Every structure is written in structure tokens, then in C-alpha cells.
A = this chain, B = another copy of it.
Amino acid sequence: MDLSLIRPIIQSALREDIGRGDITSQAIAPSSLTGKACIIAEEEGILAGIEVAKEVFRLTSGEKVEFMSELKDKDSLTGGLPVLILQTSALAILKGERVALNFLGRLSGIATLTREYVDLASPFGVKILDTRKTTPNLRVLEKYAVKTGGGLNHRFGLDSGILIKDNHIRICGSLKKAVERIRQAIPPFWKIEVEADGLSEVKEAVELGVEAIMLDNMGLKEIKKAVDLIRQQAKEIIIEASGGINLENVAEVAKSGVDLISVGSLTKAAKNLNMHLEIMKP
């Protein structure tokens, strides 16, 4: 995690929450008062975002904070047990509390859900990937949380991978034209992936020699047929299953012979993992 990329996101979140100042805390807490606080998990799960939380308090305290005990990202969380203990000015704790928890809760929620998918798919040698269905402006963090949960990252944005989708084909008239245009405009360092909705598209993609095929929203049977069809002709093509995959069916899909499974729910349907912060009695 590169903090210089993430610091502006955190600063903006602090401005969002604090606005012109924490009127309750500023009236109540003498600015000289030091406090010790503990962030406590309320559920089981996988921790993600501890460096974000620490940066929150570095920012509210002007770097004057001490972290006394902390878990690391990827560690398991246990309900009721501490995640991070810190000491700094009481005001810095109160100003950072909600923002730190909002980041930690969201990222740990994603890491925890990712881990569940990974645990079901990895016995079959299949990797779990995220998608671009992330929360606007938090992609770098949410993709980090997916990695923390054991997943891999699909392309970061429209500029970091070639994926020919339905809409592209409709615009070109045919997959063939789409592939030709890409090969002309872009140097061959990029692999071409094609989204296929049915077996005929799979077949066409194989014939065009693309490097990867995404089986989109197919049922289990169709996935198996597609895998057979591809593997007979081109062993090295990357096969990705995507769409409609959930905790119930992910193991079955993983068994089907695909290389990768991408799951939108990792980022668009994860619940925040509950945590809270307690100021400790002196």
C-alpha cells in the first residue's frame, strides 16, 4: 500500500467528517489532554486497512501519536478483541474515530468476504478476482482489500487492460473487426480478452487467437462446455468465469476447469465489518 496515493483520500474523508471543526469535542476536551484508545472488533473476519487507520490518526494528531499494539493486515479478527491501541491527544482521537472506523470496517468487510470465496475456490487451483464494480473513488483501497483477502486484481481501470465486451462488438459489427482494430492500434504487449455470452462467441474468439476469454453469466453446464471447447484447441488461453457467481456456486464453478473467477460482489455487496473505538480510562 503506497500511502502517498492514499493520503489525499484520507485527508478528504477527514474534511468531510470534521468540516469546520468537531464542535462537541472542541468544547469538551482540553487541547492539552492526552488519551489512550482502543479499536475493538465486534465480529470475526480478516483485517484490512490498519495502515489507513493509523494514517488517519497521524493526520488528526499532526504526527504526534504512538501505536502501542496492533494487528497487521491479513490477521484474523476476533469479536471483542483489540485491533489497535493508540495514544495521542484526546482531540485527535475523537476527530479521527469515525473516519478510521469507516475505512477499517469497509476494507475489512471486503477482505473477509474475499477470503470466503478464496477458501472455496483455491482447493481447485482457481484464483478469485475483483471487478471494476467498486465504490467510486475508493478503487485503489478496495482492490487492496481484495488482495489482502487473498484475491487477485483484475485490471485497475479502462487503461490497464483490453477487454472486448458486448457493447464493443455491437459497435464494430463483429468481434473480428474489433480484434483487428485493436491489433492495429495497440502494440502487442497487451493481451486481448473477450467477453463471451455463449458458445458461438467462445468459438469465434478462439479462432481469432485472443489470449483470454471471459465466460459471462453462463450456467454451470455452459461453462463446462466452453472450457472443453477452448482447451481442445488452445491450451494456453486464459479462461475466466464471471457473472452470477456467489458463495453457493463458486466451488462448482471452480471445479469446472476455468482458471479465474471474477466476483463483483466482493466490492459491491460486502457489508462493513463492525468495530468501535473506546477511550480507555486513565
The reply to whether the CB of A191 lies closer than 8 angstroms to some CB of chain B is: yes
- Whether A138 and B137, one on each chain, are in contact in the complex, defined by CB atoms closer than 8 angstroms, is yes
Partner of A279, one of B2, B4, B127, B167: B167
Chain B minimum-CB-distance residue to A157: B19
Partner of A238, one of B27, B188, B260: B188
Partner of A156, one of B19, B106, B260, B269: B19
Of the four ranges (under 10, 10 to 19, 20 to 34, 35 or more), the interface on chain A belongs to 35 or more
Contact bitstring A173-211, B, C-beta under 8 A = 1, else 0: 000001001101111111101000000000000000001
A104 CB to closest chain B CB (Å) equals 11
Known: A20-B19, A156-B20. A187 touches B281 (CB 8 A): no
The reply to whether the CB of A22 lies closer than 8 angstroms to some CB of chain B is: yes
Partner of A137, one of B13, B170, B185, B189: B13
Chain B minimum-CB-distance residue to A94: B167
- Whether B134 and A185, one on each chain, are in contact in the complex, defined by CB atoms closer than 8 angstroms, is no
Partner of A18, one of B62, B158, B164, B238: B158
Chain B minimum-CB-distance residue to A17: B157
- Whether A21 and B158, one on each chain, are in contact in the complex, defined by CB atoms closer than 8 angstroms, is yes
- Whether B171 and A33, one on each chain, are in contact in the complex, defined by CB atoms closer than 8 angstroms, is yes
- Whether A155 and B26, one on each chain, are in contact in the complex, defined by CB atoms closer than 8 angstroms, is no
A1 CB to closest chain B CB (Å) equals 9
Contact bitstring A86-124, B, C-beta under 8 A = 1, else 0: 000010011101110111011000000000000000000
Chain B minimum-CB-distance residue to A129: B187
Chain B residues whose C-beta falls within 8 Å of the C-beta of A234 in the assembled complex = none
Chain B minimum-CB-distance residue to A12: B137
Chain B residues whose C-beta falls within 8 Å of the C-beta of A181 in the assembled complex = 27-28
Taking Cβ atoms with an 8 Å cutoff, the residues of A that contact B are 2-5, 9-14, 16-29, 33, 35, 37, 59-60, 62, 90, 93-95, 97-99, 101-103, 105-106, 127, 129, 132-140, 152-168, 170-172, 178, 181-182, 184-191, 193, 211-212, 238, 259-260, 268-269, 271-272, 277-279, 281
